Amino acid sequence: MLSLDGNHIGDGGATALAGGLRSNATLLRLAMCENGIGEPGVAALHDCLVANRVLTELFLTRNPGMPYGSSVSDDVQDLLERNADRAANWDARRLVVLARCASETARARA
């Protein structure tokens, strides 16, 4: 979790951060509440999520570009849910592989 709440990032900072998030492979949760991010910054973050398949939570409350009381737009929420579903599928696959390895190890020892 990276919390950048209340850092006055603005649209320029949000746009620059969105550029880096396009190739992000590790950050899962990002909080950017109360940063003066307007519609251009929110749009840049939305656009980066089309390419970013890792980020699963983004908090943008109390920014001018967000509807009152909303954390993210419906479009952004859809992209975050896509990423969360993908992460859950990867976790399930890892468990299957781990179970197979344990089974093969047990057979080899028998």
* pLDDT (tens digit per residue) in 36-54: 999 999 999 989 998 998 8
User: d(Cα 94, Cα 66) in Å, to the nearest integer?
Assistant: 37
- The domain tally of the chain equals 1
Reduced to 3 DSSP states, what percent helix, strand and coil does the chain have, rounded to the nearest 5? 55, 5, 35
* CATH number, residue 16: 3.80.10.10
Tokens of residue 59, six digits: 């908090």
pLDDT per position as a tens digit, 41-96: 999 998 999 899 888 889 998 999 876 655 567 788 888 888 888 776 666 566 66
Its pTM stands at 0.71
Whether 35 and 9 have beta carbons less than 8 Å apart is answered as yes
User: d(Cα 46, Cα 26) in Å, to the nearest integer?
Assistant: 18
Domain that holds residue 79: 2-109
